[in-house]
Structure 1
Amino acid sequence: MASLLGFGQPFGGVMQTAFVVQDIRASITHFQRDCGAGPFFLLDHFLGPDQLYRGAPSTADVTIAMGFAGHMQIELIQPLDDHPSVYRETVKQRGYGFHHFGIACADVDADLPGYVARGYELAFRAAVPTGGSVAYLERGDAAAPGFLELIPATPGMDSHFTVMWRASLDWDGTDPVRPFI
């Protein structure tokens, strides 16, 4: 059996479903009211360091909210500027909605060549505060409806997301939007 993260998802498996949204607060309300997810942890601005979009430096700024529905993390991403990014690209090509599945990786750099060998291309890379760098991959075919994000499952990521997941257990609807921890 695969090793589990503190919030019950396996290394190497889908731990996150992400959506690009036009209005993050309206989307948080939808996921709480209609999908039973929450609470959500909001980061008003995330301008990740060392962003590379399609091989070129990028400075895209986004608002991010994360919450849980059961063991699945839901990530909502609202672009805040018109700088080129995987988020603006998705909105232009398909509109708002599904963006990526997040895969927990013990070592993103070690796992990346296997995905490339299966036909994926690197579209975006950025450092994250919990350690390491995420990598967004795409195949560009109907079998892959969006990006895959390889997420470094560092101890910092695991503890950070586990705190969010624990907040969702028996959540009574109070304090529905909280500061990103």
Structure 2
Amino acid sequence: MSRIFGSIAQMGYVVRDINAEMRRWIAHGVGPWFYVHDVETDYFTHRGTPSPMKMSVALANSGDVQIELIQPRNDAPSLYREFLDSGREGLQHIAYWSEDFQGLYDKALESGYVVGHEGSIGGEQGRFAYLDTEKTFGHIIEISDISGPKGLFFRYIREVAATWDGSEPIRGDIDKLQ
């Protein structure tokens, strides 16, 4: 438990082949996966500059911890692209969720954290920020607003995973998988 951020809610993996990674986690017994091939951001900035970053995302839960898989779909600047371009693949960030995103965001900046990239998915209550903590912790810290529809969706994913029987292991844009 972090006195600044709270409890870790998510582990985020940046991957080159999201389909293969979902299958790997399914074989490990984690699922079902909720997959979105073309995630649409309201805005996205990398190191303060707008970026046309495109990505695919898959989400599942293992207990109370959400597992996120992210595959960049273009070469636009992002911390995801930097991670892959450095020759790595795998755990890239841990995330903390808040219903008071602005308060947590302000507290992080006041504590000396620097935003590497940030954006929003689904409106003002879908904001997220990745704090550039890789040199300090070996991974990035994400903070994410769950006060709106995103929080309800995350709760639904956790509830479905709790009783998952192995059927329909991938849900969503399965027709768009590589």
Please give the TM-score of this superposition, normalised by the length of structure 2: 0.87
Q: What is the aligned partner in structure 2 of residue 80 from structure 1?
A: 73
CA distance in 1, matches of 2:111, 2:148: 28
Match of 2:82 in 1: 89
Q: What is the percent sequence identity of the aligned residues?
A: 28
Partners of 1:65 and 1:76 within 8 A in 2? yes
Structure 1 contact 108–135 (Cα < 8 Å) conserved:
no
Does structure 1 conserve the Cα–Cα contact (< 8 Å) formed by 2:126 and 2:150?
Answer: no
1:132-164: per-residue Cα shift (whole Å, max 9, x none)? 31011023434x121111110214222111111
Q: Is the contact between residue 15 and residue 102 of structure 1 (CA under 8 Å) also seen in structure 2? A: yes
Tell me how far apart the structure 1 counterparts of residues 87 and 103 of structure 2 sit (CA, whole Å).
31
1:21 deviation in Å?
Answer: 0.7
Residues in 1 aligned to 2:20 and 2:158: alpha-carbon distance in whole angstroms: 21
Match status 1:105 vs 2:62: no
Q: Does the CA contact (< 8 Å) of 2:116 and 2:132 recur in 1?
A: yes
TM-score relative to the length of structure 1 = 0.86
List, as ranges, runs of 4+ consecutive aligned residues in structure 1 with deviation greater than 4 Å.
none
Size of the aligned set, in residue pairs, is 168
CA distances 1:64-84 after superposition (whole Å, capped 9, x unpaired): 000011111000000111111
Q: For residue 109 of structure 2, give the secondary structure of its aligned residue in structure 1.
A: helix
Q: Which whole-Å CA distance do the structure 2 matches of 1:100 and 1:151 have between them? A: 12
What do you get for the CA RMSD once the two structures are aligned?
Answer: 1.7
Unaligned runs of 5+ in 1: 1-10
Q: Structure 2: where are the runs of 5+ without partners?
A: 174-178
Output the amino acid matched with 1:86.
L
Among 152, 160, 166, the residue aligned to 2:145: 152
Q: State the alpha-carbon separation in 1 of the partners of residues 88 and 70 from structure 2.
A: 13
Give the distance between the partners of 1:139 and 1:162, measured in 2 at CA.
Answer: 27
